[in-house]
Amino acid sequence: MPTILDTEIKYLAGVGPQREKMLRDELGIHTFNDLLQYFPYKYIDRSKIYRIREVTTEMPYIQIKGHIMGFETFKTSPRKERVVAHFTDGESIMDLTWFAGGKYAKTNYKIGKEYIIFGKPNVFNGRINVAQPDVDPAEEMQTQGMGMQPYYSLTEKMRKAGYSSRFIERLVRKLFERLDNIIAISPTDSPSVHPISETLPDFIRNRRNLGSREYALRNIHFPKDAKALEAARVRLKFEELFYVQLNIVRYASDHRRKYRGLVFSRIGEKFNGFFHDYLPFELTGAQKRVIREIRTDVGSGRQMNRLLQGDVGSGKTLVALMSMLIALDNGYQACIMAPTEILAEQHLNTIRQFLGDMDIRVELLTGMVKGKKRQTILSDLALGKVDILVGTHAVIEDTVVFWQLGLVVVDEQHRFGVAQRAKLWGKSSTPPHVLVMTATPIPRTLAMTLYGDLDVSVIDELPPGRKPIHTQHVFDTQLPRLYESIRQQVRLGRQVYVVFPLIEESEKIDLKNLEDGFEVLREVFPEFRLSKVHGKMKAKDKEEEMQRFVSGETQMLVATTVIEVGVNVPNASVMVILEAQRFGLSQLHQLRGRVGRGADQSYCILVTPYKLSDDTRKRIDIMCDTNDGFRIAEADLKLRGPGDLEGTQQSGMAFDLKIADIARDGLLVQLARDEAQNIITKDPDCNLPEHEMLWQRLRELKKTNIDWSAIS
């Protein structure tokens, strides 16, 4: 049922057709509720009024009470003018200057009327001057209180049109006045007609010591003091995170109850035979722990939905293979789906190498597999003659029919859409168990939101014998020395990656840089053979060039980030990343993971110009300080925010959070998660009367433009 807050913004006093269009198009404010939820981004304490004689230019802001004595206008060009008002506090005189909006100032600000002016002080012609000041009638400011003033974000278009933060502030004040009038005439015994309805039950608010929603909304816009502002922020952040988590936890609970899983009760000869006779090296403690977790899941009678996180080279593929062997021991087939043909082929070769001469049939299905060979694989797959199928998205085509699919492994899952994965699971009458793998370490608070419906396993150890990659930062003025170091490595029989950035906005320039750079490297290293790979090449040419490097025919691979996922060349020991300042932390870490796969000491060289921003310098320093993917992911989340992290945009969860910050509000994410879990544990069918408010609110949120789609 619509409420006063659903009223269109054009019906608020002070909003005409032009302003309505600006608010709608620039800020997405369509209704009273949208305005109420458009929160300030900062606050300035306006409780102190200075005398003009106290003002110095070191002060960030000043506030003076007084009146305008007169205006002067100065032509700055045929069509522009500078307007100056002479302003006094009764003792001294200062100037107010408008480079834009001067006509408005002369028309609306009255000589002799008492005003409070606010702005940044400067000195011009020996007199204190404030340019583009906020000017408010003193009577109005003193009536509404002069505490912390909110500041609202505006677009460039709004600023150019003469809008300021005060415009939004005044609209919010008018909205609260209108709501207060409704409250004043409402029956005192009818809280249901209150315009700002509560969205959290008393038992949650009392347990978490949270104020009312009305208190929070009033104090987020017009805080009485710093303490009230903090209480408002905590309340609104918790509410936002709680409903995200409630949606995820409820979905996960429904999924687990709805989908009974295949029961893999046997650990048979395939698993045991591989473990005792073919395992190439001792499993790490982390790998053993993860395999135990997977065995518990697949034997529990519920469908496994598990996320396996682990840095590049941590041994995820071996864990996936051993999980697939459990499926085979129980009479089922298994499938591993990779995002690219190169990665699919690599999985095929790795799995076949691990299995040796075991009687297990592993086949590859990608777009490159055609004709008679493809028909044979499809036919044998349907008859149960293929045990493990490795493929790309070609696996989800309708022509691909399994005899009995028991386990699906999805590698680098953020590259597959929700619908694609669901289609693969639909290839079995009982949904198969699902193991999702990612080499992009995800901070815990983000994983709880991105993959909240998946159980999470982490491989946090590298296999024995792996040496940590040594990361160095060099400036582009030091390239001659770097070239000599590369030459020494290649003479020792090693191979080298050289990566150029390729950013969509400057793609043509980047490709030219790569082509020019390739020619320079050929001149610098005439004794070496080089391969070149970038995303604009034909797939066949790219495969051939990549294959030349993998086989050792070329010593240097010059490429864009197409090599980021999936190339495994144990002999490659040097990764040179040019213009490293243009890459994100996670991307740099992924690229670095292409080396360090053999027993030799490996190096990652980050090349940048000397002049760097503070944020960029922090990124480079973090890369040089640690090889820990989770530390890097945490730092990336803090520097860039969740929406910018690679993979989060494709994952099916939009981060349309208005006030909470997943990077900085980790504790609140956990508290919200715990509270949501309590609700679902107590009320799995969502029908207890005391929780009706929660389900009603969730329904309302799902009608908004927030993407609440299920993650997996």
Kindly report the pTM of this predicted structure.
0.66
- The per-residue DSSP string of 251-296 comes to HHHHHHHH-BPP------HHHHHIIIII--SPPPHHHHHHHHHHHH
| Tokens linked to 649 | 């945009």
Identify the residue with better confidence: 460 or 106.
106
CA-based nearest residue to 667, from 9, 208, 330: 208
C-beta separation of 109 from 85 below 8 A: yes
The first and second tokens of residue 672, run together, are 């919200």
More confident residue, 216 or 656: 216
Tokens 């816009």 locate to: 221
- Residue carrying structure tokens 């790490």: 284
Among 661, 664, 593, 596, smallest CA distance to 623 is for 593
pLDDT digits (tens, 9 = 90+) for 400-438: 999 999 999 998 755 555 566 667 767 888 889 999 888
Statement: residue 647 has pLDDT above 50 = no
The pLDDT, as a whole number, for residue 205 is 96
Q: What pLDDT does residue 709 have?
A: 39
Q: Residues of 495-522 as b/e, b for ≥16 C-beta within 10 angstroms?
A: bbbbbbbbeeeeeeebbebbeeebeebe
Distance CA 650, CA 637 (A): 16
Reduced to 3 states (helix: H, G, I; strand: E, B; else coil), residue 704 is coil
For CA atoms 127, 131, 137, 138, the dihedral sign is negative
pLDDT (tens digit per residue) in 52-75 = 999 999 888 899 999 999 999 998
Residue 77 pLDDT exceeds 50: yes
Q: What is the rounded CA–CA span in Å between residue 105 and residue 239?
A: 42
Lowest-confidence range among 195-209, 452-466, 621-635, 658-672? 452-466
Q: Please report the pLDDT score of residue 711 as a whole number.
A: 35
DSSP class per residue in 457-479: EEE--PPTTPPPPEEEEEEGGGH
Q: How many CB atoms lie within 10 A of CB 278?
A: 13
Cβ 568 vs Cβ 593: under 8 Å = no
Residue with the larger pLDDT of the pair 10 and 645: 10
- What pLDDT does 194 receive? 73
Q: Using the structure block, give the residue that is written with the tokens 């404010």.
A: 29
Chain segment 559-601, per-residue pLDDT in tens: 886 564 556 788 899 999 999 998 888 788 888 988 887 778 9
pLDDT tens per residue across span 111-138: 999 999 999 999 998 899 999 998 989 8
- Rounded Cα distance, 451 and 248, in Å: 9
Q: Can you give the pLDDT at residue 334?
A: 97
In order of 166, 198, 278, the CA distances from 29 in angstroms are 16, 22, 63
What pLDDT is stored for residue 712 in this prediction? 35
Q: What is the pLDDT of residue 633?
A: 78
Q: How confident is the model at residue 707 (pLDDT cuts 50, 70, 90)?
A: very low
3-state secondary structure at position 497: strand
Average pLDDT, the chain: 86
> What is the structure's pLDDT at 451?
67
Higher-pLDDT residue of 223 and 664 is: 223
The pLDDT value given to residue 255: 76
How many Cα neighbours within 13 Å face the side chain of 163? Answer: 25
368-411 pLDDT, tens digit per residue, is 899 999 999 999 999 999 999 999 888 888 899 999 999 999 98
Angstrom distances, CA of residue 111 to CA of 69, 115, 443: 6, 10, 59
pLDDT > 50? residue 708: no
d(CA 474, CA 624): 11
**Is the pLDDT at 157 greater than 80, yes or no?**
yes
Per-residue model confidence as pLDDT tens digits over 533-549 = 887 788 778 878 888 99
Residue 481 scores a pLDDT above 90: yes
The two structure tokens encoding residue 71: 């205006």
- pLDDT at residue 267, rounded to an integer: 94
Residue 606: its H or E element:
strand 603-608
Instruction: Tell me how far the alpha carbon of residue 533 is from its chain's centroid.
Output: 28
pLDDT score of 611 more than 50? yes
* Dist CA 391 CA 348 (whole Å): 9
Nearest to 414 by CA among 707, 652, 708, 647: 647
Phi, psi of 595 (to 5 degrees): -110, 180
DSSP string, 584-598: -HHHHHHHHTTS--S
Mapped onto helix, strand or coil, the DSSP state of residue 341 is helix
Residue 97 has pLDDT above 70, yes or no: yes
- Where does the pLDDT of residue 625 fall: very low under 50, low under 70, confident under 90, or very high at 90 and above? very high
Specify the amino acid at residue 658: K
The region that residue 162 occupies, defined by phi over 0 for left and psi between -120 and 50 for alpha, beta otherwise, is left
CB atoms under 10 Å from CB of 625, counted, come to 12
Distance CA 632, CA 636 (A): 6
CA distances (Å), origin 560, targets 377, 537, 550, 593:
34, 11, 16, 15
Per-residue buried b or exposed e for 146-168, using 16+ beta carbons within 10 Å of the residue's own CB: bbbbbbbebeeebeeeebbbbbb
For strands 556-559 and 530-533, give the pairing: parallel
Residue 196 makes CB contacts below 8 A (sequence gap 6+) with: 5, 36, 179, 213, 214, 217
Q: What per-residue confidence (pLDDT) applies to 203?
A: 95
Q: Which of 25, 301, 289, 44 is nearest to 152 (CA)?
A: 44
pLDDT at res. 170: 92
Start-end of H helices in 435-592: 444-450, 479-491, 507-524, 539-550, 585-592
Q: Is the pLDDT of residue 192 over 60?
A: no
Asked whether 366 and 392 are in contact (CB, 8 A), the reply is yes
- C-alpha span between 208 and 202 (Å, rounded): 10
The two three-digit tokens of residue 503, written as one number: 């950013």
